[in-house]
Every structure is written in C-alpha cells, then in structure tokens.
Amino acid sequence: MLWVKSFHIVFIASWFAGLFYLPRIFVNLAMVPPQSIAERDRLLLMAHKLMRFTTILAVPAIVLGLWLWLGYGIGRGSGWMHAKLVVVVLAIGYHHACGRMLAKFVANRNTRSHVWMRWFNEVPVLLLVAAVILVVVKPF
C-alpha cells in the first residue's frame, strides 16, 4: 500500500504542477498584442504540450487514488473522504475548463482578460490546500 500511496502523491504533485502553470500561460496569452503572432504561436505550443502532459499525469493520479480508496479502503465511510472526493471532482472540472480555454485561445475566441486569468490561476492552489488538509487533518 505504501508504494501505491507514494506514487499517488508523486502523480498528484505532478498533475497540480501542470494545473498551476497552464493558467499562467493563459495570463501571458491574454496579454499578447494581436500583431505578435510568433509570441502567440509559441505560447500556444507551450500550452498545448503542457495540457497534454498534465492530462497524462492526471490519469495515474486518479487511478492510484481510486486504488487506495476502493482497493485498500482508505477513508471508506469517512466524512473527510467524501469532502476530498468533491475536491477531486472540482480539480477534474478545473482541468477540463483549462482544456476548453486552450481551445478558445487556439480559435482566437478568448474573451477573458489577463486579470481574470490571474484569479483563475489561483483555483488549483485552493483545491490542493483543501485536499491536503482533508487528508492530513481529517477534520470530520
């Protein structure tokens, strides 16, 4: 079980690293002047590669978490686990929202400002803090 837990933590940290950085690229994309095509293309390439890599990292993070929960019974029937599962669903939703935003940038249909993107960039920090507190402190 400790091997599964260790790899779960590694993949969660890696997945969230991508979720921390991808919206930062969106901030930069929202600030690119329309005439800066090369800069826009470079940032889109970076965002596309990071989105793909982040998605690949999310899969084992989720699978290993399910293994710990369903296979080893960690947190089964606990209030903190139910709350953590809500946080996981929100993280998956955030990941999906990043993919939709990237598609809007690619299609040149982004309507959000760089200030909005900066606030959006803070969401995964809150999700990670909530998940860690729920798992370590087990407040209920």
pLDDT tens digits, 94-135: 999 999 999 999 999 999 999 999 999 999 999 999 999 999
Give pLDDT, residue 33. Answer: 96
Can you give the length of the chain in residues? 140
Give pLDDT, residue 113. Answer: 97
**What are the Cα distances from residue 111, in Å, to 26, 32, 86, 104, 124?**
12, 13, 29, 9, 21
Query: Are 69 and 80 a contacting pair, CB within 8 Å?
Result: no
Give pLDDT, residue 96. Answer: 98
Q: What is the mean pLDDT of the chain?
A: 97
Measured between alpha carbons, how far is 23 from 34 in angstroms, rounded to an integer?
19
Structurally, how many domains does the chain consist of? Answer: 1
Find the domain containing 58 and state its range. Answer: 2-137
